[in-house]
Structure formats: C-alpha cells, structure tokens
Amino acid sequence: MINENIINKLILYGCKILRNEFLSKYCSFKIGGPADFLIEIPNEQALFIFLKNIETNYVLLGNGTNILFSDKGYDGVVLRLTGDFNKIFVSKNKISSGSSVLLSNILQIAIKNNLVGFECIAGVPGTVGGAVYGNAGSKDEWISTVINDIEVYKNLKKEIIKKEDVKFAYRKSNLENCVITKVNFLLKKKVKNDSLREISKNIQNRLKTQPLDVYSAGSIFKNPSGISVGKLIEKIGLKGKRIGGAQISQLHGNFIVNTGGALSRDILSLIDLIKNEVKKRFNINLEMEIKIIE
Ligand SMILES: Cc1cc2nc3c(=O)[nH]c(=O)nc-3n(C[C@H](O)[C@H](O)[C@H](O)COP(=O)(O)OP(=O)(O)OC[C@H]3O[C@@H](n4cnc5c(N)ncnc54)[C@H](O)[C@@H]3O)c2cc1C
C-alpha cells in the first residue's frame, strides 16, 4: 500500500493515480486482474518523487506487448510514463526519444527525415523503452545497433549510459534495475527508397507469418541460436493446441493467442506443455521472451 500523503504529493506533481485498475486494458494479451495502483507519471520530477518515496513493489509498463499479467492482478504499483516521456527531437542524424514513444512513431519520423537504421523494428508494436530493455528487432538485427546513449534512473540517480557500457544480446540487456527515460539514437542519412523497401518487406513478412488479428504478446520463447522455436513446436504437432481460451497459433508455433476469455493460467499451462515437450523431444531448455508478472 502507498501512504496517502505520497499519493497527494504525486497528484500535485501531475501524476494520474488509478486504484484497482484492470491490467487487461493495458496489454496486448488482454489478460490481467487489477493492480493495487496504476500510476501515470508525466515528467522526471514526478518520477523522482515516486522513486524516492515508494516502499512497495512496482513494475514498469510500456505498451504491454511483451508481458503476461496474472488473473489475480498485481500487488503493488504498475507504472506508466506519459507526458514528457512521449517527446521526440530530431537534429541532423540524431533522434532523441522519450521512452514512451511508440516504435511506429519513431520509425515514421526517421523516414520523414531520411534517416535509416530502424528498419528491423518495423511492425513491432512496443515503445522505445520496452524495445531497448528487451533489445527488440528482427532475427539478426536489433534496436541496440542505432543507440548512442540511454538516460535512466538507477538507485535514485539519473545516469546517462553509453551504448558500449550496456550488455546487449539477442532480446536481452542488463538494464534490469533501471527506469529508461530517454534514448538517444545515432542514425545514417540515406536514400529513403532503400529503407522503405526494407520496411515494406519486413511488414509483408510479418503479415504472412504472424497472427496479427488476435490478442497475443509476440513470440513467447527466445529462439536458441540457429533454431526456430516455432518450427520445433510445429514438429511436435502442438500447433493449434488449446487450453481454455488460449491456443498455440496455427500460423506461428511460437505465438500463443487469446481466442477470447483466456486466463493467465491457460497461457501458463500451454507454456509448461511446450517447455516439457521440447525438453523431452529435443533436450532443449527454452528461455522465456515474454515477461511474466505475478
Ligand atoms: C504481434 C506482435 C509482434 C511482435 N513482434 C516482435 C518482433 O518482431 N521483434 C521483437 O523484438 N518483439 C516483438 N514483439 C514483442 C514486443 O512488441 C517487443 O518486445 C516490444 O519491444 C515490447 O515493448 P513494450 O513497450 O510493449 O514493453 P512491455 O511489454 O510493456 O514491457 C516489456 C518489458 O520492458 C520493461 N520496460 C518497459 N518500459 C520500460 C522502461 N521505460 N524502462 C525500463 N524497462 C521498461 C517492462 O518492465 C517489461 O519488463 C511483438 C509483439 C506482438 C504483440
């Protein structure tokens, strides 16, 4: 629980405080019970007040496209960065982006300014903060390639971390205990048409291979080096398998979809089933790509 004095202080700093807010509204799986608090923070001053005073658990939420919340909800605060964190500035070949900016927006701005480097995130439905935290991208190209530095709050201090000082790997960074507030990207000026062709190819490929008309959280598992988890799941014959309202996509084996009314436990049961079968058949331990918040 949060002390009412802190709540009042946060309201004075422009925060929006929602109590018992259903998390299903804020994630692409459309699953999740109520959080004790969902707090929207509009600027760095308010963020600092929050971090300084908060004594309960909290979790950061971007666009909720790589996350599974529990049906029981969240015992603590779910934090969303809004307002100033949605701002973007462009100067020559640099883009400075608040962490809540949607990837689709930053991609559009880059195209308008003849800047290339974001092609690998075309069609990824997250925010800049979520994408940098999880090093989003395509199979071989990641958003980290075009980062110059990252502004974060860590242990109540603001830090600017150079890209070289962050450990990025496939769908992974070591930014675990950081609140990412801003990301400064360094891009290349190039002929717009080359970039547009690549973006169009990526989107066409996504439309063919991913179930985009149903609720999901993207790929459930990380692909082990050189191996497609989707193909393994297909080989085992689990595509289309249903538990409750959840189903392993017929189109892409590494996607689990909410066909309507799925509970988090339905998704978790399918995850366990896949993990066990893949271990049994191929002796591979699958690693989660989505974040499970319980
Ligand atoms: C249909 C579909 C297709 C997808 N395709 C791809 C794809 O091709 N490639 C790919 O990489 N991903 C893909 N994804 C997954 C997802 O869109 C990306 O991982 C995205 O980067 C997640 O961003 P988000 O803002 O939604 O993060 P969230 O899901 O909100 O959060 C994910 C994690 O990031 C942390 N986080 C969020 N914001 C911050 C912040 N400001 N500071 C610190 N930590 C933060 C959260 O705490 C959480 O741990 C897909 C998802 C869907 C639904």
Same domain (yes/no): 95, 189: yes
Asked whether residue 50 carries a pLDDT value surpassing 70, the answer given is yes
246 located within any domain? yes
pLDDT at position 265 is: 98
Same domain (yes/no): 118, 214: no
pLDDT digits (tens, 9 = 90+) for 170-212: 999 999 999 999 999 999 987 667 788 889 998 999 999 999 9
Same domain (yes/no): 184, 229: no
Q: Packing angle between helix 264-282 and helix 229-236, nearest 10 degrees? A: 80
202 located within any domain? no
> Which H or E element spans position 268?
helix 264-282
Distance CA 47, CA 135 (A): 23
> Which of 41, 51, 58, 60 gets mutated to test ligand 1 (max ligand atoms within 8 A of its CB)?
60
Same domain (yes/no): 96, 191: yes
Same domain (yes/no): 131, 48: no
pLDDT at position 192 is: 65
Percentage of the chain modeled with pLDDT above 90: 92
State the CATH number of the domain containing residue 111: 3.30.465.10
Same domain (yes/no): 106, 179: yes
Cα(45) to ligand 1 centroid in Å equals 25
Residue 229 pairs in a beta bridge with: none
Distance CA 219, CA 139 (A): 12
pLDDT at position 281 is: 97
> Which of 58, 66, 170, 216 gets mutated to test ligand 1 (max ligand atoms within 8 A of its CB)?
66
pLDDT at position 68 is: 98
Same domain (yes/no): 123, 160: yes
Contacts of 141 (CB under 8 A, 6+ apart): 119, 120
Query: What mean pLDDT, rounded, does the chain reach?
Result: 96
Same domain (yes/no): 61, 119: no
**CA separation (Å) from 236 to 230, 233, 281, 282?**
10, 5, 8, 10
pLDDT digits (tens, 9 = 90+) for 70-126: 999 999 999 999 999 999 999 999 999 999 999 999 999 999 999 999 999 999 999
**Number of structural domains found in the chain:** 3
What range defines the domain where residue 268 resides?
210-293
Q: Which of the listed residues 195, 230, 245 is the one where a domain comes to its end?
A: 195
3-state SS, residue 261: coil
Q: Which of the listed residues 195, 228, 251 is the one where a domain comes to its end?
A: 195
State the CATH number of the domain containing residue 65: 3.30.43.10
Please identify, by atom number, the ligand 1 atom nearest to the C-alpha of residue 136: 11
State the CATH number of the domain containing residue 236: 3.90.78.10
132 located within any domain? yes
Distance CA 92, CA 140 (A): 27
Same domain (yes/no): 241, 287: yes
Distance CA 165, CA 216 (A): 33
* Annotated catalytic residue 289: yes
Locate 191 and state its tokens: 């002929």
215 located within any domain? yes
**CA separation (Å) from 223 to 71, 140, 168?**
27, 11, 16
243 located within any domain? yes
Contacts of 8 (CB under 8 A, 6+ apart): none
b/e per residue 152-182 (b: at least 16 CB within 10 A): bbeeeeeeebebeebebebbbbebeebbbbb
Same domain (yes/no): 127, 80: no
Locate 180 and state its tokens: 């990412």
100 located within any domain? yes
Residues touching ligand 1 (Cβ under 6 Å) are 28, 59-67, 81, 99, 124-127, 129-131, 133-134, 136-137, 178-180, 210, 212, 216-218, 291
Distance CA 148, CA 162 (A): 6
Locate 170 and state its tokens: 């496939």
203 located within any domain? no
| C-alpha angle 97-25-10 in degrees, rounded to nearest 5 | 60
266 located within any domain? yes
Percentage of the chain modeled with pLDDT above 70: 99
Same domain (yes/no): 100, 29: no
Same domain (yes/no): 99, 156: yes
Q: Which of the listed residues 67, 84, 101 is the one where a domain comes to its end?
A: 84
The closest of 83, 13, 79 to 46, measured between CA atoms, is: 13
